[in-house]
Structure 1
Amino acid sequence: MRILLLLLPCLLLGQLNPQQRPNIIYFLADDLGYGEIGVYGQEKIQTPNMDALAAEGMLFTQHYSAAPVCAPARCMFLTGKHAGNAYVRSNDEWRERGEVWDFAAVSKDPKLEGQRPMPQSTVTVAKLLQKAGYDTSIFGKWGLGGPTTHSVPTRMGFDYFYGYNCQRQAHNLYPLHLWENEDKVALNNALVQPHTGLDKGADPNLSASYARFTQPDYAPTLIHDKAVSYLKRKRDKPFFMYYASPLPHVPLQAPESWVAGYQDKIPETGPYLGKSYFPNQTPRATYAAMISYLDWQLGDLIRVLKETGAYENTIIFVTSDNGPTYTGGVDYEYFESSKPFTNGRGRTKGSVYEGGLRVPLIVSWPGKVENGSTSDHVSVFYDMMPTFCELAQTQVPQDTDGVSLLPTLLGEKQAQHDFLYWEFTGYKGQQAVRMGKWKAVRQKIQEGVLRTELYDLEEDILEQHDVSQNHPEIVAQIERFMQQEHTQAPNPKFRMKALGDSME
């Protein structure tokens, strides 16, 4: 395989004009489930632009996130590392700084904002493309280092940034501020603390009771407008845009006109009164509206690309950072958010089962990717670094865990992963390996449990029948992979004692 990996790029790059290296857009949804796009089987939520893009490009059926939650998935995408080698292996809110969840305190002290930073020496795909002559930008959610640290987008390879630095702040889509590069931009919104509910005695059946949760400046719209302005700029070099939307991550907040479009189409069972997230009077309609609005934004980007003449030389990747949520008022059963995988708590976001890791991937590249094609190639987030480097015709780092998807996109012979590896210190500690048709899962590692479950995905896509007792040789092989791919994390917060890590 190693020889194949080295030779294929040389053969394939001969098909590409070095004077017309493609623009690259990586359109990343937040908590969008595998089953929440029309072309992947969704029947209640309208996603015409994603569906049309799939008709003009390639739909992947076996693409995986590198982690089941936000921050590590984004780190692994940017660095080309799997969870056994990456620096960020779970969400880490860096609580030792103080009251990081107090939005009033954070608004006054930016040192409380953001997640724990990546090391200053981190090599990101943005740095590599920037060095290769690309204009690089990120719009949306960062989540990989606070605004007063070295680990902000403009110091990690991006020429321009507009959006949320902090994933906690993105728990309100009407925030007090966003960031433009390293400058804080105040918005015309009032402070609403996390976990705020309806006023005491408020009638949950009156829309006026929810007024404080809809304010003037809707962050996804502001972020999108900046992205559109970016696409309209004239430039003499190719660009890389990382569009990291906060949608459809809860809380349930969407433009009222989009919610109204679903209120007569989707029956409600009652309001969501809020526990971990803000309350909402029409939770089903609002969630559908968030996804349809996200879909419209993708379509709007494509419209601008066509108007500016850039579309024909732009490759677009559309995916999600992990599986769908099970909280915040989202009715994942009604929408069948993880279809065809097992749905709900412990099986979707935060889980290394298929519903938490397998995500949609649509890729369009006019004249290069075959229209309406489908690929069952097993791929993962950390494949993006080698793929993007080859598109940019720059050297692929030797230490990446990824395999370029360029051969698949161009209809050529594709090198395969021997296996995919995951580990996740959150949710009591987990490991997983995908090897051919086999999927192995470990749960409760932080409690000292190292039992390996085994599933045959060809026969049991729901991962309900553990066949480890019937295939001890497969389990032994996968457990060797689990041992060899795990390295001790530099940050003790991402370590697991049961895997032999020092906890000091």
Structure 2
Amino acid sequence: MHLRTKIAVLAALCCGISLFSQSEKPNIIYFLADDLGYGEVGAYGQEIIKTPNIDSLVERGMKFTQHYSGAPVCAPARYILMTGKHAGHAYIRGNDEWRERGEVWDYKKAFSNPNLEGQRPIPENTITIAKKLKEAGYTTGVFGKWGLGAPNTEGVPNKQGFDYFFGYNCQRQAHNLFPSHLWENENKVYLKNELIAPHERLDSSLNPLDEKSYDKFYQPEYAPDVIHEKALTFMEHNKDSSFFLYYASPLPHLPLQIPKKYAKPYLDIIGNEEPYIGDQGYFPNPYPKASYAAMITLLDQHLGELIQKLKDLGIYENTLILFTSDNGPTYTGGVDFEHFESSKPFTNGAGKTKGHVYEGGIRVPFVASWPQKIKEGSTSAHQSVFYDVMPTLCEVAGIEAPNEIDGISFLPELLGKKQPEHDYLYWEFPSYKGQQAVRIGDWKGIRKNIFEGNLKIELYNLKTDIEEQNDLAQQHPEIVERIEDIMKREHVPAANERFKFRELGDP
């Protein structure tokens, strides 16, 4: 265990936080939205999209204002979450489609050949949150999008500590919310949907203003709803034992797809709008703004139904609920990020949100609720990050966190005790031309375009410049030097050639 983690655990114990007995161990629900922006939740300032259940969770729990993803895109964020290791130490540091297998982006070939599906697998000996919680007697389940190991490999959820899995194994397959199939554990489950390859555009012979032109993109079985029902059933089956439910919803990630009944309420709110015909690489949609808003509201509805199920089963009082997003919002595929101010109060749009280590790409909404443990209506400015979740949940479960992790438990913060702080937070991302970032207190250092030979560090004071517009590097060379030292120290060359930074001296 890293020295920082040991100090955190000792400090927590000294503050009077006791470990829970087996009979007292709470259920844990970790609800992860997909590409949900900081500004797309009512409690975080959204004024158009309705999120009553998330907002209610904020009222009943603790709202974090400085919580971060571990990475600005899907797979590395999920790996960092599962392992407690930051991107400079992680095995998965970017999206890796494992292309050497063949035509992995050919959706129809992948349908008939599962060996073309899924991402590069994490190693079999990876220590995950699920494995640790199983040690503590928890029943573990994951529902939604996995993305950390293809079918028939050591990376599938059932070999990484999860007793039950239902959802998308593959991130690419999740580019269709009416898919032909999902996975239940290691078995393929076929849905009553036509096989349509993601990224298909609207037929040029059809009238884009005629809603019927889009009918083929609406199928009988909507994956988020099918997955959701399985999660509710998991809770019913395990109501008498402690469970860990990792709910990795595919919403509101593109494409813009949602049953018309959910979008209908927003048609009046949004009004007439231009259709999206699929020219940016995702399925077309007759009313993109209404559909996107409805996808987020359905995400919110799913959370509300989980909470109601807890209450119906009589286990709500003994359940810790954590809600967040895997990274910042998208800026393509028909999503109107300006209309919804998706990254408010951060800078919006391409280059500043998903895929980038600016605040809009990695700072995410985060809410924690635990009846009679977490103070209702409280707000935390504690700087926390995905790699803190592993030690936090280990402490909740009454077990020691693994050695060689980078996180600090934020359980003291949840319980209103003295909270150890990070000396700094670290990110790196070997995509979008290569990036690194460090946060020290109010200071944020960013290095971008590394693969083009740029090693210059931008410096921002987030207290006075939340939009990261005023580079203060020349005025504060001593802070830049500290950040540069951290970047050098925390970056360990990746095992995967795809994630290496030659410009940083990686062999």
Q: Given the alignment, which residue of 207, 210, 214 partners 1:203?
A: 207
Instruction: Measure, in 2, the Cα distance between the counterparts of 1:90 and 1:155.
Output: 21
Q: Given the alignment, which residue of 311, 321, 337 partners 1:316?
A: 321
**What do the CA deviations read for 1:352-371 (whole angstroms, capped 9, x no partner)?**
00000000000000000000
Q: Given the alignment, which residue of 389, 405, 413 partners 2:418?
A: 413
- The TM-score with structure 1 as length reference comes to 0.98
In the comparison of the two structures, how many residue pairs are matched?
Answer: 502
Instruction: Measure, in 2, the Cα distance between the counterparts of 1:236 and 1:34.
Output: 35
* Cα displacement (A) at 1:420: 0.3
- The TM-score with structure 2 as length reference comes to 0.98
Q: Verify: 1:304 aligned to 2:309, yes or no.
A: yes
Q: Verify: 1:368 aligned to 2:368, yes or no.
A: no
Q: Given the alignment, which residue of 281, 293, 296 partners 2:298?
A: 293
Instruction: Measure, in 2, the Cα distance between the counterparts of 1:147 and 1:9.
Output: 40
Instruction: Measure, in 2, the Cα distance between the counterparts of 1:159 and 1:234.
Output: 12
* Cα displacement (A) at 1:400: 1.1
Q: Verify: 1:63 aligned to 2:57, yes or no.
A: no
Match of residue 173 from structure 1 = 177
Instruction: Measure, in 2, the Cα distance between the counterparts of 1:19 and 1:289.
Output: 40
Match of residue 156 from structure 1 = 160
- 1:89 aligns to what SS in structure 2? coil
Verify the 8 A CA contact 1:268 1:283 in the aligned structure 2. no
Match of residue 328 from structure 1 = 333
**What do the CA deviations read for 1:362-415 (whole angstroms, capped 9, x no partner)?**
000000000000000000000000000000001111311000010000000000
Instruction: Measure, in 1, the Cα distance between the counterparts of 2:22 and 2:11.
Output: 17
- Aligned 1:128-277 pairs, distance under 5 A: 128-275=132-279, 276-277=281-282
- 2:141 aligns to what SS in structure 1? strand
Instruction: Measure, in 2, the Cα distance between the counterparts of 1:236 and 1:57.
Output: 24
**What do the CA deviations read for 1:89-134 (whole angstroms, capped 9, x no partner)?**
0001111111111111001100000001111111101100011110
Match of residue 45 from structure 2 = 41
Instruction: Measure, in 1, the Cα distance between the counterparts of 2:378 and 2:204.
Output: 54
Match of residue 361 from structure 2 = 356
Q: Given the alignment, which residue of 475, 479, 483 partners 2:480?
A: 475
* Cα displacement (A) at 1:249: 0.2
**What do the CA deviations read for 1:223-279 (whole angstroms, capped 9, x no partner)?**
000001111114542000000000000100112111001000013430011121011
Instruction: Measure, in 1, the Cα distance between the counterparts of 2:94 and 2:505.
Output: 18
Q: Verify: 1:5 aligned to 2:11, yes or no.
A: no
- Aligned 1:332-343 pairs, distance under 5 A: 332-343=337-348
Match of residue 400 from structure 1 = 405
* Cα displacement (A) at 1:8: 2.8
* Cα displacement (A) at 1:192: 1.0
- After superposing on structure 2, the runs of 4+ consecutive aligned residues of structure 1 that deviate more than 6 Å are none
- 1:317 aligns to what SS in structure 2? strand
**What do the CA deviations read for 1:450-470 (whole angstroms, capped 9, x no partner)?**
010000101100001100000
Q: Given the alignment, which residue of 446, 453, 478 partners 1:448?
A: 453
Change (3 A) 1:260 1:35: same
* Cα displacement (A) at 1:18: 4.5
Letter in 2 for 1:114: G
Q: Give ranges in structure 2 of 5+ residues lacking alignment.
A: none
Identity %: 60
Q: Which moved more, 1:236-245 or 1:368-377?
A: 236-245
**What do the CA deviations read for 1:317-337 (whole angstroms, capped 9, x no partner)?**
000000000011000000000
Match of residue 109 from structure 1 = 113
Verify the 8 A CA contact 1:13 1:393 in the aligned structure 2. no
Instruction: Measure, in 2, the Cα distance between the counterparts of 1:380 and 1:13.
Output: 21
Q: Give ranges in structure 1 of 5+ residues lacking alignment.
A: none
Instruction: Measure, in 1, the Cα distance between the counterparts of 2:466 and 2:187.
Output: 47
Match of residue 57 from structure 2 = 53
Q: Which moved more, 1:195-204 or 1:133-142?
A: 195-204
- 2:36 aligns to what SS in structure 1? coil
**What do the CA deviations read for 1:436-489 (whole angstroms, capped 9, x no partner)?**
000000011111110100001011000011000000000001100000000000
Change (3 A) 1:102 1:473: same
Letter in 1 for 2:82: L
Verify the 8 A CA contact 2:9 2:409 in the aligned structure 1. no
Instruction: Measure, in 1, the Cα distance between the counterparts of 2:118 and 2:180.
Output: 15
Instruction: Measure, in 2, the Cα distance between the counterparts of 1:118 and 1:366.
Output: 35
Match of residue 434 from structure 2 = 429
Match of residue 469 from structure 2 = 464
Verify the 8 A CA contact 1:268 1:284 in the aligned structure 2. no
- 2:416 aligns to what SS in structure 1? coil
Verify the 8 A CA contact 1:9 1:390 in the aligned structure 2. no
* Cα displacement (A) at 1:19: 2.2
Instruction: Measure, in 1, the Cα distance between the counterparts of 2:348 and 2:243.
Output: 38
Match of residue 78 from structure 1 = 82
Q: Given the alignment, which residue of 7, 29, 36 partners 1:32?
A: 36
